[in-house]
Amino acid sequence: MSEVASTGGANAPFAIPVRVYIEDTDAGGIVYYVNYLKFMERSRTEFLRQYGYDKPAILDDGSLLVVHRAEVNYRRSARLDDLLSVTTEVDTLARTNVLFKQGIYRGNELLCEGLIRIACVNPDTMRPCAMPPGMREQLATVA
């Protein structure tokens, strides 16, 4: 697997490779549960980077993108030195948030799947606000 992100084919989700290091595992060499969320965060960040958002947590208009909800289903364990593929695709797009569908694979085997809702908020009030129109338009093309 290449060390660069892939948009796959026409219907394939965006994916990045992630190698499991010792720091990702528990004493038994199994990936610690919270690290799957970190792998998903990396994939979402790289997904948004392809649209020109170099620091996607802080948008050009000053609004912030924050995790509003995370639903994760752990199916199988990843282990030390595994090469994983972490996918990201837009499931649902709303005015103030986006729901990402994510998967973590070892080869063709699905190890972990998640639905992560990212909300756009005003940095002063931390209340939901409209996503910048340009970002919403870009994400709508893949929703």
Catalytic residues: 26
SS3 of 85-123: the string is EEEEEEEEECCCEEEEEEEEEECCEEEEEEEEEEEEECC
- Residue 111 burial (10 A CB sphere; 0-12, 13-18, 19+): buried
> Residue 121, by phi and psi: left (phi above 0), alpha (psi -120 to 50) or beta?
beta
Cα–Cα distance for residue pair 64/15, rounded to 1 Å: 24
